[in-house]
Structure 1
């Protein structure tokens, strides 16, 4: 690869970081050791502080990544105490891993990094055809080569701290089977149920009982009415802005002429080459010998063009292409160093270059084939250009209208002025409550709901402030009626109150009947009115509720049959008799898969325990609560 590793070791590290370690929160050794003494420490690891500024920066990076993946995510979620605390814990974990890697001397060698780059298929997109790394990725990350080099070594070292645990095999298949058998176990049971509905007809309710149930504070939440609002709202989005957009024919043609390259198929060239390597430190004599060798190879190829592939296999110093007879496959512009690219794109199909010099050495290049470079006509792309230009103009118009929208909404007491001025439709919703099913995506938007029930919105009797709903969409609401939540009277509750009391008494009667039957059947099993025997497991409930299944699988089975009673609340009561305990169902617990799952669970437990020990060893301590983080997500 043109002596890639020695010359471009730092660029190699960029590739590793981007492809293998995208989740790593970079901080670098200098960042780890250099702290602002005046900045507040929010945590300590190994005697070194994590500062508020570092926490804020990591939080900001995390918020930006989440926004990139979820453009409509609520900013308040990104700035929540939970997210902040997770970011701080991740910083602490990285510092602990760094300290452990340093103590264990786990820095990877350059040779290991070279092997990673040459063997890992993940690097294919990072390698240029001539073996170099795409240098533009450096500027995309905004970091220097030295910073990437140090970051890579640090990250690989930290990951090695836990590597041994993740690769360990905790137990044999026999041990794994014994450990998992209780979880996959099957049990033969018979069940009887005492439904609540069988008791309802027997229940009598007095007025005194109704009053006592109503007055019991434990039931107060059941009698609260829904808080609702009736409101008007208007929405400004790109679609509404597009209605006022006029598209001129000249605009479409101008767009085509200015972006004609977009409608061309990028030209690619299938080329092969032979490299005679020249080190940057080579003497003048060595450079002359290399050039003489290249000239000799060029003369041989000119004499017999068919000899190119064989000469490349034997004489080329590029290990990435020599074995293929120098073939670099299809390559496009921007994928190679400039002298090499100029040579490739300066040749026609079947043409051979002279000696081409690049930073890697001397090349002999032959273009085998050319494809692409065709251009679509204006008429064939006119429709899609019109749609794109119209969308761009609508976006621009939306930005202009958004300012007018904001001014009109904030200045007026109702929505009529903004609707008239911007030609928007006033929409209405009646008796809308929190948690109601949303008839449109807009009415399910958390920001809009939060604004609707904001005390200021409810009290002002004016338009709300403009609500940014994401995706170039603004809304404003005007509440016309507010019905606060309140405790309903007994008269308003009517039959509903009576039914609640009946349900409560019927459930209690079902439980009492079930418990009485359970005690009786334990004494006289022959009289038990149980259902047919069935075999159940955690993976095959056979129609049993989760409550019954859980009770059955947890019950002690030292003595069989074993009896279980289960209070199902408003579902009544269930009695289960466990007749047999059977082994794991082989169709569910496949031995090899079970062993793998067990190993994963074991590894997770050991990893968590080891990390806990490392935290203690390096005195990791968080001194600030999540709420102390700066609000950087907004």
Structure 2
């Protein structure tokens, strides 16, 4: 439902596009098993954001995303990048709230009502007279853990925050001259020729002496620094682990089958035909009355001769999708049709013809032609699903108890993880070269900054005791211990070994390639006819021709006031490249539709730039400090 709000509110769409819409007020946050740190991670307008605020916000954000996408891998939500993104959202929320307060921005009742009516989930709750079904509305927002009053207060707040940046976005525009200059620069193409001087071609010429290697080592000691690292072991308790320990009795399974067989079998489907006489809500009352009278006439006709329903539908129904088929709508389940239509169909018996039913589309006459009751599978057919469902339910109930025993176990038997692993039948995982910060591509517990902080705490490193249990995600705990630890140090030449020679050869090869390329470019500038270059190619930002990015950028940045122009490009350890720019190619003429699309895109970019610049200024105005480094 909240996603519908973001999608259909004009102001909120602006902020969502810019990725600076803050999350809704967080509700239903579970209490942690552990004491959270009160460390300050950010400050906005003199108000602190604590580590606990951040953790609670990230937990709520993760719960929201999992609710939207149940198949999402929970590990993706606990990466350093994901957690930092939550902190940025939290900061944005505070900045916009401070700005809205300073500017005295509020949301009027009329604006709130307009926004509510734009939300499809709420729009469907309107009665024929235009009033809102209060009970259905209460149930809808209640499914989000909120009251109507709380929901509306949050929506008022979101709309007020949207006004902070809405003016900057809505005032953006682009002139034709700006568009032409930007698009010409973006899509310009140039004819170039390239000569590559690969470092690998010079590697055989590099024969380092011991003295040269030593000098290189001493000049580049930063390349040989070894970060602190540890060999660790850990074990994880989650719902899957608790499920493995659950043994179900045959009686439990059969009882669960009897109680849930109908639900597990699937939902009932019904097949119906209808005759529709169109009558939109905004149609004058007199016209609606005529449409209803027409429907009443057709109802009398089909009730007099029920077998003529399909023929009457073909001749009179104004539903283009079903009229040709005699009004047949096929099979459908609940929630597939508008509410008045659905309520009528699921109250009818097979063969019944309804009264005239009014909906947002007009007036319907419905014939129920078939009812498809799902076949209830046998107990043996359902056994695998029954076991999985029942184990999951029991695991949910037992997890709190298991979590407490797990937490106490790793603390009380702090010299080893083995007793707890044996008690819960958990696998002890081992990992080497674990660092204080999550490494690129790390997964599971080793991607969790909180768990790594616990592993690299003073007590863990010095005494090799188990860490406290750390909550990775809802219903997921992990504990670990350090087996061995190596502090940060600079490797000696002996430790570096062959790596030193490889680095030296790569460095010297690149230098030789660079020197040779520069000499050749000087010669070719003086005598262009001697240049040994590849065949000419036409390149642009949308046509890279498989060239390295550095080469493409240099070719398109080079001044073209005097052609041909020459550019040298350092490719690092890969070598060097020489570019000759022969000419600037004319940009092909664009049709009006493409130009309009480009103008729209450019205006969008300009709007984004203005809004982000304004937001950055707000951060300065409200003295934003983020004390946590970006991953």
Structure 2 residue 236 is matched with structure 1 residue 232: no
Q: Identify which of 68, 88, 91 aligns with 1:85.
A: 91
Paired position in structure 2 for 1:47: none
Q: Summarize the alignment of residues 569-580 of structure 1 with structure 2, pairs less than 5 Å apart.
A: 569-580=572-583
Query: Are residues 522 and 430 of structure 1, via their aligned partners in 2, closer, same or farther at CA, if it must alter by over 3 Å?
Result: closer
* 1:566/1:575 contact within 8 Å kept: yes
Structure 2 counterparts to residues 313-392 of structure 1, below 5 A: 347-351=348-352, 368-379=368-379, 380-392=381-393
Does 2:169 correspond to 1:171?
A: no
CA distance in 1, matches of 2:229, 2:431: 10
Instruction: Note if contact 1:273-1:327 (Cα within 8 Å) is conserved in structure 2.
Output: no
Report 1:127-206 matches (<5 A). Answer: 134-135=136-137, 136-140=139-143, 142-144=146-148, 148=152, 155=159, 170-171=175-176, 176=179, 179-203=182-206, 205=208
The match for 1:215 among 176, 193, 218 is 218
Give me the whole-angstrom Cα distance separating, in 2, the residues matched to 1:426 and 1:16: 44
Residues 444-482 of structure 1: CA distance to partner in whole angstroms, max 9, x if unpaired? 565554544444322221112223333644333222211
Larger Rg: 1
Q: 2:430 — aligned with what?
A: 428
Q: Distance in 2 between matches of 1:337 and 1:191?
A: 65
Query: Once the 2 structures are TM-superposed, how far is the Cα of residue 348 of structure 1 from its aligned partner?
Result: 2.7
Matched, 1:74 2:75: no
* TM-score normalised per structure 2: 0.67
Cα 1:554/1:309, change in 2 over 3 Å? same
The C-alpha deviation readout for 1:475-521, integer Å capped at 9, x for no partner, is 33222211222111233334433443444344333333332332333
Q: Which residue of 2 aligns with 1:458?
A: 461
Is contact 2:232–2:432 with CA below 8 Å preserved after alignment?
yes
Which consecutive unaligned segments of at least 5 residues does structure 1 have? 1-12, 29-40, 45-49, 276-293, 313-324, 630-634
What secondary structure does 1:259 align onto? helix
Does the C-alpha gap of structure 1 residues 273 and 154 become closer, same or farther in structure 2, counting only changes over 3 Å?
Answer: farther
Contact 2:190 2:585 in 1 (8 A): yes
So what's the TM-score if we normalise by structure 1?
Answer: 0.67
Question: Match of 2:124?
Answer: 126
> Aligned pair in 2 of structure 1 residues 295, 403: CA closer, same or farther (>3 Å)?
same
- The whole-number CA distance in structure 2 between the counterparts of 1:224 and 1:614 is 39
Residue deviations 1:332-375 (CA, integer Å, cap 9, x gap):
7799999998876554334467999x9x9xx9986534523445
- Maintained 8 Å contact 2:267/2:333: no
Q: Flag the 1:100–1:555 CA change in 2: closer, same or farther, 3 A.
A: farther
Distance in 2 (CA, whole Å) between partners of 1:376 and 1:367 is 27
Moved more, 177-186 or 544-553: 177-186
CA distance in 1, matches of 2:474, 2:49: 32
Aligned to 1:604: 605
- Of stretches 266-275 and 375-384 in structure 1, the one that deviates more from structure 2 is 266-275
Query: What SS does the aligned partner of 1:469 have?
Result: strand
CA contact (8 A) 1:271 1:331 kept: no
Q: Distance in 2 between matches of 1:532 and 1:187?
A: 14
Partner of residue 40, structure 2: none
Give the distance between the partners of 1:397 and 1:150, measured in 2 at CA. Answer: 35
Question: How many equivalent pairs are there?
Answer: 561
The equivalent of 2:624 in structure 1 is: 625
Q: Is the 8 A contact 2:169 2:607 kept in 1?
A: no
User: Cα RMSD over matched residues?
Assistant: 5.9
**CA distance 1:426–1:541, change in 2 (3 Å):** closer
What's the secondary structure of 1:532's corresponding residue? coil
Is 1:477 matched up with 2:484?
A: no
Q: 1:329 to 1:349 in 2, by over 3 A?
A: same
Distance 1:97 1:246 in 2: 61
Measured after TM superposition, the shift of residue 556 of structure 1 is: 0.9
| Rounded Cα–Cα distance in structure 2 between residues aligned with 1:42 and 1:410 | 37
- Which structure 2 segments of 5+ residues have no match? 26-42, 278-294, 314-325
Say if 1:570 and 1:615 are closer, same or farther in 2 by CA, change over 3 A. Answer: closer
CA separation in 1, counterparts of 2:23 and 2:238? 38
Rounded Cα–Cα distance in structure 2 between residues aligned with 1:466 and 1:408:
9
Measure the CA separation in 1 of the matches of 2:104 and 2:370. Answer: 50
Q: Does the 8 Å CA contact 2:44/2:91 hold for their aligned counterparts?
A: no
Cα gap change, 1:124 to 1:522, in 2 (>3 Å): same
Q: How does 1:255-270 map to 2 (within 5 A)?
A: 255-262=256-263, 263=265, 265-266=267-268, 268=270, 270=272
Paired with 1:615 and 1:492, the residues of 2 have a C-alpha distance of 47
Once the two structures are TM-superposed, the CA of residue 376 in structure 1 deviates from its matched residue by 0.8
Q: Indicate the residue corresponding to 1:248 in structure 2.
A: 249
Cα offset for 1:295? 12
| Worse-matched range after superposition: 261-270 or 327-336 | 327-336
CA distance in structure 1 between the partners assigned to 2:522 and 2:366 by the alignment? 93
Q: Residues 586-617 of structure 1: CA distance to partner in whole angstroms, max 9, x if unpaired?
A: 7xx7874454134312343146547978999x
CA contact (8 A) 2:464 2:483 kept: yes
Q: Per-residue deviation at 1:20?
A: 1.8
Instruction: Check conservation: 2:107, 2:156, Cα contact below 8 A.
Output: no
2:532 pairs, out of 524, 529, 532, with: 529
Tell me the residue number matched to 1:632.
Answer: none
SS in structure 1 at match of 2:500: helix
Secondary structure, counterpart of 2:256 in structure 1: helix
Q: Tell me if structure 1 keeps the 8 A contact 2:445–2:478.
A: no
